[in-house]
Chain A
């Protein structure tokens, strides 16, 4: 579980995050949605410690991040996995080396044992014959899957994904979403996902936080989001015709 209390972050004199508080539960896929530029990536990177918050607390299962010393921070980070917006695979390493990297750095397992684990997670993300390929030789969807494999290989307690399915076709996007959700349940991970994809919201939005201009504008589940009367949320959700129709159906069902 991750508790966020009154998180503030500015760059120069522009305040990007203006006091965000929320709770991300274990074993759930927690979604952060909002328009481009609303601060989703900055928020996620602040959770990870890549940005230092100006004010506020982030508490990982009782551990207050800002109160940890460098060693404790490093240890905590080894329990985190992150899937970056652009995958961020190491392009000088092939798929197997990419996925094995966290194991090499942080465990003293023998090669065979690491290899077994790598094979296992690559199979888990449905990538079997790509071990010796380099990132440049993979499609966007495959890169995302390798990135997920790398993020989960060392059994993280916390998984962060920045738009894991942006730029993918709808079918692959749903596969990736489902994969993340399954892994979250299977290993009881606290997962936080940035997205502006409404399909993801419907599929895996167990808890949703809607950010607007650095504020938490709304919070709820995927069932609630289609019924809310919050104008900012409905403007965002029903910007596409498809979802306008979905809302119509919900309302008819309700009446």
Chain B
């Protein structure tokens, strides 16, 4: 079991770092630039660029946007790998041996994805860093103003809210795609279709759950 979990951590978590680093850095940059371009009133303080970047990255871009990307990457990987095991009778082979295949395949993925908040923390950090780079090097605000913006009116509860979402999204990312893979029928073509359906439903559920949690925690 231990080796299985480590393997899943390698596939699901470590394997996703690259794309997360890439996306969050640039998305953070875009958020900073757009906020800056929308401030044309001289009465609005410049530190707002940092403030807006921090808020959008921590509240939405890092936890939710990243999770939708992960529904495509990790989710379709989970569906297609379990689905392939189904159509090639590897799941039957497990069952015949007296192994609870659902447990055996899904449990390590859930455990591995409990490290998902670390990815999101990295995404938050890099998103804000990307915003800082864009703001400072694009001359939209000074470094000092941006850093002031990051610190202004900081609410711990927003971080708690973001990580609560993240943990629930991690659970959704492990279970819904696994469900679609495990209970699929047919052949290789259906594995492809199952991955697509799983991506759609995982995203839909993430977005709805996001709405509900937001209403409950912030509303």
Contact = CB atoms under 8 A, between A and B. Distances in A.
Q: Do A and B bind each other?
A: yes
A84 B98 contact: no
Nearest to B95: A50
Interface string B87-121: 01110110111110000000000000000000000
B92 A77 contact: no
The 6 A-B residue pairs whose C-beta atoms are closest, nearest first, are A77-B98, A88-B89, A74-B98, A88-B93, A84-B89, A82-B96
A105 B97 contact: yes
Interface string B158-176: 0000000000000000000
Interface string A84-114: 1110111110000000011001100000000
B148 to A, nearest CB: 51
A75 B89 contact: no
Contact of B97 (A78, A86, A89, A91): A78
A76 B93 CA distance: 15
A82 to B, nearest CB: 5
Interface of B: 7, 84-85, 88-90, 92-93, 95-99
Contacts of A102: 97
A91 B88 CA distance: 10
21 contacts: A50-B95, A73-B98, A74-B98, A75-B98, A76-B98, A77-B95, A77-B96, A77-B97, A78-B98, A80-B96, A82-B96, A84-B93, A85-B89, A88-B89, A88-B92, A89-B90, A90-B93, A91-B84, A91-B90, A92-B7, A101-B97
A101 B96 CA distance: 13
Contacts of A32: none
Interface residues of A, number: 23
A84 B96 CA distance: 10
B87 to A, nearest CB: 9
Nearest to B97: A102
Contacts of B89: 84-86, 88
A90 B96 contact: no
Interface in A55-90: 73-78, 80, 82, 84-86, 88-90
A180 to B, nearest CB: 17
A77 B99 CA distance: 9
Contacts of B7: 92
B98 A50 contact: no
A101 B97 CA distance: 10
Given A77-B96, A78-B97, A90-B90, 7 more contacts: A50-B96, A77-B95, A78-B98, A82-B93, A86-B88, A88-B89, A90-B93
Interface in A93-142: 101-102, 105-106
B99 A88 contact: no
B49 to A, nearest CB: 47
Contact of B88 (A73, A75, A88): A88
B124 to A, nearest CB: 33
A84 B84 CA distance: 15
A73 B96 CA distance: 10
A238 B193 CA distance: 42
A84 B97 contact: no
Contacts of B93: 82, 84, 88, 90
A92 to B, nearest CB: 8
A48 interface: yes
Contacts of B98: 73-78, 106
Contacts of A90: 85, 90, 93
Contacts of A91: 84, 88, 90
Contacts of B99: 105
B155 to A, nearest CB: 44
A70 to B, nearest CB: 10
A91 B97 CA distance: 17
A102 B94 CA distance: 9
A65 to B, nearest CB: 13
Interface string A188-218: 0000000000000000000000000000000
A82 B93 CA distance: 7
Nearest to A45: B92
